[in-house]
Amino acid sequence: DADVTQTPRNRITKTGKRIMLECSQTKGHDRMYWYRQDPGLGLRLIYYSFDVKDINKGEISDGYSVSRQAQAKFSLSLESAIPNQTALYFCATTGTTNTGELFFGEGSRLTVL
Amino acid sequence: GDSVTQMEGPVTLSEEAFLTINCTYTATGYPSLFWYVQYPGEGLQLLLKATKADDKGSNKGFEATYRKETTSFHLEKGSVQVSDSAVYFCALRNNAGNMLTFGGGTRLMVKP
């Protein structure tokens, strides 16, 4: 089983709909991240959390919200999806020592029509 | 702010060819530098890293040297294989922060 699991792996939705992407990890890490990947733009940070009571905005947080339900779970929500949120979304984790190595899930591909 | 610039792809090579993917960065202080690889349908995984100037990171035949004087961290491999086909991301972590800044990624395609 994967150490970092994302659900759903693929989702097609319509403009204005609410969508939630879920992430769970079995690595025991405190730090969790949500990134968005667009062609040619690399990965851009949406939100990150260093523990259950700590939530921080990244560089592109507008239009997104997150919830850290437990140490192992970090979900990303789009309250009212729009077409330019069509992208590949990745969850990642790292330990407190933060050597710089992130452990990524396999990604959630979201299409907003 | 911090930034990472990679050569645009795709890079198409024949098997056993020499690979270079250029990466330059802008950052304050002395960042740590990373190369991540993304195989088709998978998440990113760490390929190699270097934490100080003149360090050489290496893994799976790939290597990159931290060059502070040219603010570069070019990825090289002497003989690529079809299985190396993937997207490669250069990244930095500024020691003043906790975040990674990624480059735009370079797609490598290796033909038999």
Instruction: Say how far apart CA A53 and CA A38 lie, in whole Å.
Output: 29
**Across A77-86, average pLDDT:** 96
For residue A106, the distance in angstroms to the closest alpha carbon of chain B comes to: 4
Most distant CA atoms of chain A, gap in Å = 41
Cα within 13 Å of Cα(A21), Cβ side: 33
Listed by number, the residues of chain B in 4-43 with a beta carbon closer than 8 Å to a beta carbon of chain A are 4, 8, 32, 34, 36, 41-43
Q: Which of B4, B8, B43 sits opposite A90 (nearest CB)?
A: B43
Fill in the DSSP letter of residue B72: B
Cross-sheet strand order for the sheet of A65-70: A4-7, A19-25, A73-78, A65-70
Q: A-B interface: how many C-beta pairs under 8 angstroms? A: 47
Listed by number, the residues of chain B in 45-84 with a beta carbon closer than 8 Å to a beta carbon of chain A are 45-46, 49
Instruction: Say how far apart CA A33 and CA A16 lie, in whole Å.
Output: 25
Beta-sheet strands, E only, within chain A: 4-7, 10-13, 19-25, 31-38, 42-51, 54-57, 65-70, 73-78, 87-94, 103-104, 108-112
A45 touches chain B (CB under 8 A): yes
- Give the pLDDT band of residue B94 (cuts 50, 70, 90): confident
Decide which of B14 and B98 is more confident: B14
Radius of gyration of chain A (CA): 13
For residue B10, the distance in angstroms to the closest alpha carbon of chain A comes to: 11
pLDDT reported for residue A99: 72
Check pLDDT > 80 for residue B97.
no
Q: Are A4 and B43 within 8 A, CB to CB?
A: yes
Task: Tell me how many helices (H) and strands (E) chain B has.
Answer: 0, 12
Q: Which of A40, A50, A102 sits opposite B100 (nearest CB)?
A: A102
Buried/exposed A71-94: b ≥16 CB within 10 Å, e otherwise: ebebbbebeebeeebebbbbbbbb
Per the prediction, chain A carries an average pLDDT of 92
Query: Taken in order A50, B40, A77, A85, is the CA torsion positive or negative?
Result: positive
- Find the closest chain A residue to B7 by CA distance: A40
Q: What pLDDT, in 10s, does the model give residues B31-90?
A: 999 999 999 888 899 999 999 999 999 999 999 999 999 999 999 999 999 999 999 999
Decide which of B2 and B20 is more confident: B20
CA-nearest of A10, A41, A45 to A31 is A45
Decide which of A41 and A74 is more confident: A74
| Residue B44: Cβ-neighbour burial (10 angstroms; 0-12, 13-18, 19+) | buried
Check pLDDT > 90 for residue A39.
no
Task: Tell me how many helices (H) and strands (E) chain A has.
Answer: 0, 11
Decide which of A1 and A93 is more confident: A93
